[in-house]
Amino acid sequence: MTAYLELDAAAQDLLFREARTANTFTDEPVGEEQIQAIYDLVKWAPTSFNQQPLRVVLVRTPQARERLVQHMWDSNKEKTAAAPLVAILAADGEFHEQLPTVFPVFPNAKDAFFSDPAVREESARMNAALQVAYFIIGVRAAGLAAGPMSGLDTDAVAKEFFDANHKVLAVVNIGKPGENAWWDRLPRLEFDQVFRTV
Amino acid sequence: MTAYLELDAAAQDLLFREARTANTFTDEPVGEEQIQAIYDLVKWAPTSFNQQPLRVVLVRTPQARERLVQHMWDSNKEKTAAAPLVAILAADGEFHEQLPTVFPVFPNAKDAFFSDPAVREESARMNAALQVAYFIIGVRAAGLAAGPMSGLDTDAVAKEFFDANHKVLAVVNIGKPGENAWWDRLPRLEFDQVFRTV
Q: Which ipTM was obtained for this model?
A: 0.97
Segments in chain A below pLDDT 50: none
Mean pLDDT of B143-170: 96
Contact B137, B183 (CB under 8 A): no
Q: Is B149 exposed, middle or buried (0-12, 13-18, 19+ CB in 10 A)?
A: buried
B149-188 residues touching A, CB cutoff 8 A: 150, 161, 169, 183, 186-188
Phi, psi of B86 (to 5 degrees): -125, 135
What is the DSSP secondary-structure string of A11-78? HHIIIIIS----S-B-S----HHHHHHHHHHHTTS--GGG---EEEEEE-SHHHHHHHHTTB-HHHHH
Portion 107-126 of A in contact with B at CB < 8 A: 123, 125-126
**Residue A45, φ and ψ in degrees, nearest 5:** -70, 150
CA atoms within 13 A on the CB side of B161: 35
Q: Are A168 and B169 in contact (CB under 8 A)?
A: no
The CA distance from A175 to the nearest CA of chain B, in Å, is 14
Interface test with B, best of A191, A192, A193 (most B CBs within 10 A): A191
Q: Cα separation of B16 and B133, whole Å? A: 12
pLDDT for B173 beyond 90: yes
List pLDDT tens digits, range B54-110.
999 999 999 999 999 999 999 999 999 999 999 999 999 999 999 999 999 998 999
Contacts of B3 in chain A (CB under 8 A): 37
Residues 58-77 of A with CB under 8 A from B: 58-61, 64
Calculate the average pLDDT of chain B: 96
Q: Is A13 on the interface with B (CB under 8 A)?
A: no
- Give strand ranges (E) for B79-150: 85-92, 145-149
Residue A81 corresponds to which amino acid?
Answer: A
Q: Domains plus CATH for chain B?
A: 28-176 (3.40.109.10)
State whether residue A190 sits within 8 Å of chain B by CB: no
Share above pLDDT 90 across residues of chain B, in percent, rounded to a whole number: 95
Picking from A42, A18, A40, the residue whose alpha carbon sits closest to that of residue A130 is A42
As a whole number, mean pLDDT of residues B130-134 equals: 98
pLDDT in tens, B113-128: 999 999 999 999 999 9
Would you list the DSSP string of B152-177? B-HHHHHHHHS-TTEEEEEEEEEE-B
Closest CA to B14 of A41, A4, A145: A41
Q: Work out the end-to-end distance of chain A between its first and last CA atoms, rounded to an integer number of angstroms.
A: 23
Please say if the pLDDT value at position B1 is more than 70: no
B34 burial (CB, 10 Å; 0-12 / 13-18 / 19+) is buried
How many whole angstroms separate alpha carbon A67 and alpha carbon B126?
25
Q: Do B197 and A37 touch (CB under 8 A)?
A: no
Say what percent of chain B tops pLDDT 70.
99
Residue A1, pLDDT score: 60
CA nearest to B146, candidates B15, B56, B44: B15
Burial class for B80, CB neighbours closer than 10 Å (0-12, 13-18, 19+): buried
Q: Does A50 touch chain B if contact means CB atoms closer than 8 Å? A: yes
Tell me whether residues A141 and B6 touch, CB distance under 8 A: yes
